[in-house]
Amino acid sequence: MKIFVKFDLHSVCTKVLENTLNNSQIKHTMLGFGEVDLQGSPSKETMQELAEKLSEYHIEIVQDQKSILVQKIKDTIIDMVFNTDNNLHVKSSVYLSEALDHSYGYLANLFSEVTYTSIENFIILQKIEYTKQLILKENLSLTEIAFKLNYSSVAHLSTQFKKTTGITPSSFQRIIAKRKELLKK
């Protein structure tokens, strides 16, 4: 028997991190997504053990300042895209600059230097992932999804979706509908 589950990646990661820290008896305060304040100064051995436990979940402790800021950029973009209540109606460059307190030019150059891709490409990838989730889990039309993600039109969304996935959102919807139909049998 197959089941389908719906989950919030942010909540899952936070819970895994929280449980791992608690099980390691490390006193801490969760500051935000991907950011934890450890009370005191845990020993090198404790930090090594923590790193090993987290690596089981493909979570790594980031230590160099450039990588930390790039991770903050990624987390901010993910938050901006997936929590779309009002964030996507602000230009992403303005949103990132204000959220991270750096000029957009600096953020864009650093992101490209470390990841070998642009912030814009990362935003597009996140929007397409969110589009797929909305198609899978919500009963929204492509027009509603395009509006929700601040696309100028369904055609613009469809073009980016096809460039990223190789198929149109409509084809993706048909494939999902077909799979659901086959699973009912």
pLDDT of amino acid 84: 62
Nearest to 164 by CA among 112, 116, 125: 125
- Residue 82 domain flag: no
- Residue 142 domain flag: no
pLDDT at position 86 over 70: no
Q: Distance (Å, rounded) from C-alpha 143 to C-alpha 38?
A: 45
Q: What is the mean pLDDT of residues 94-103?
A: 92
Q: What is the mean pLDDT of residues 61-66?
A: 81
Mean residue pLDDT across the chain: 86
pLDDT of amino acid 105: 94
- Residue 101 domain flag: no
Q: Are 172 and 132 in contact (CB under 8 A)?
A: yes
Q: Find the domain containing 6 and state its range.
A: 1-61
User: The whole model's pTM is what?
Assistant: 0.70
- The CA–CA distances, whole Å, from 135 to 23, 139, 143 equal 37, 7, 12
Q: What is the mean pLDDT of residues 97-102?
A: 92
pLDDT digits (tens, 9 = 90+) for 142-181: 999 998 888 889 999 999 999 999 999 999 988 888 888 8
User: Could you identify the residue written with the tokens 């395009």?
Assistant: 146
136 pLDDT band, cuts 50/70/90, is confident
pLDDT of amino acid 158: 94
pLDDT at position 129 over 60: yes
- Residue 17 domain flag: yes
pLDDT of amino acid 124: 95
Number of domains in the chain: 1
8 pLDDT band, cuts 50/70/90, is confident
The number of residues making up the chain comes to 185
- Residue 33 domain flag: yes
pLDDT of amino acid 87: 55
- Residue 80 domain flag: no
- Residue 134 domain flag: no
Bridge partners, 30 (sequence order): 36
- Residue 36 domain flag: yes
